[in-house]
Amino acid sequence: MADRQVTQQSISTLLNKLTDPDADLRYMSLNDLYGILNSTQSSFIANDRRLSQGLADGLFKALDDQHGEVQNQALKCLGPLALRLPFESLTPLLEQLVDLTASQTIDTSVPNTALRTIVDTLPRPQAGQPPSQNVTNAYLAVSKVLIPRLTGPIQSKSGRRGSIVRGMLDKDPSKGFSSDALDVLIKVVTCFGPLLKEAELAGLQQPVMAIIDNDTAGTVVTKRALSAICALVLYFSDNQLNALVARLKNTLSSRTITIIHRRHLIGAIGTIARGAPAKFGPHLPVLAPFVFSALGEDAV
């Protein structure tokens, strides 16, 4: 009990220093917090709702620090904190970060990076093993908060009728598509792919393909979208993969397809073939002729 009280006092003291004018002191405080969060002496935090919320609030504010090193150290702390938070506290933290990704006034790469850090740290399913309760809880938090915002617009919590919040992968009128949001999607699929429901995979596919199908998407965003569709295909059912192949074939067969659009789709075929050869290989005879045709060669 004495050790717990000492740790509680240390955390409270360090959190208070996060508002100090000295950036070096703020950085060192976060560095010390990182050490505590990674130690066994902080395991009790999962059962201390008040302290865990205080930690989440403190790190959340530090993410907006004007000094990059302080900001980066706060990002590092989010991973081990996520492992200590009870499910009831993890969900609101994810919601706060997701809401920030729609901000027009801050660098949205910060909350997106924070989301990737947390997802990467959460317990994930292991091949050949049933998911533990901790893995299931982590998936439920991601499924409840992150996936709906990645798959498309949702009703705003403001309560105003007709108020809609833009999806993370939707095109922003002023900023365009977000490659950072695509990185979040890739991390979600990489970590929790075996647990994703078919409807969730289908929902995630739609905005990714919308980017690939968009002639105005930049090179960086398109490359991330190609990586995202490849990550998704690894967990597609046979019916989903057949539908994707049919979609690619029908679009490539269109006489109105633009050169850029054709290039994006051929890029998708190549990326999926490299990333999921065993799964995608049987479909190559259907799609290969379109690739060779674009190269001005006949399929062998």
> Two tokens at 14?
């360090």
* Predicted local confidence at residue 102, as pLDDT: 81
Per-residue tens of pLDDT for the chain, all 300 residues: 558 888 899 999 999 999 999 999 999 999 999 999 999 888 888 888 888 889 988 998 899 888 999 999 999 999 999 988 877 788 988 998 998 888 777 788 999 999 999 999 999 999 889 999 999 999 999 999 999 999 977 766 655 555 677 889 999 888 899 999 999 999 999 999 999 999 999 999 999 999 999 999 999 999 999 999 999 999 999 999 999 999 999 999 999 999 999 999 999 999 999 999 999 999 999 999 998 887 765 444
**Other CB atoms within 10 A of residue 172 CB:** 14
Distance CA 6, CA 141 (A): 31
Q: For 207-259, what is each residue's pLDDT tens digit?
A: 999 999 999 999 999 999 999 999 999 999 999 999 999 999 999 999 999 99
* Predicted local confidence at residue 161, as pLDDT: 55
- H or E element: which one contains 154? strand 154-155
Distance CA 138, CA 149 (A): 17
> Counting beta carbons within 10 angstroms of the beta carbon of residue 95, is it exposed (0 to 12), middle (13 to 18) or buried (19 or more)?
middle
Q: For 111-123, what is each residue's pLDDT tens digit?
A: 999 999 999 999 9
* Predicted local confidence at residue 158, as pLDDT: 53
Distance CA 294, CA 191 (A): 36
Give yes or no for a contact between 71 and 28, defined as CB atoms under 8 angstroms apart.
no
* Predicted local confidence at residue 252, as pLDDT: 95
Supply the CATH classification number for the domain 86-155+163-235: 1.20.930
* Predicted local confidence at residue 60, as pLDDT: 87
What pTM was estimated for this model as a whole? 0.90
Three-state secondary-structure class, residue 172: strand
Distance CA 297, CA 293 (A): 6
Instruction: Report domain extents, the chain.
Output: 1-85, 86-155+163-235, 237-300
1-85 CATH choice from 1.25.10, 2.40.360, 1.20.120, 1.10.10: 1.25.10
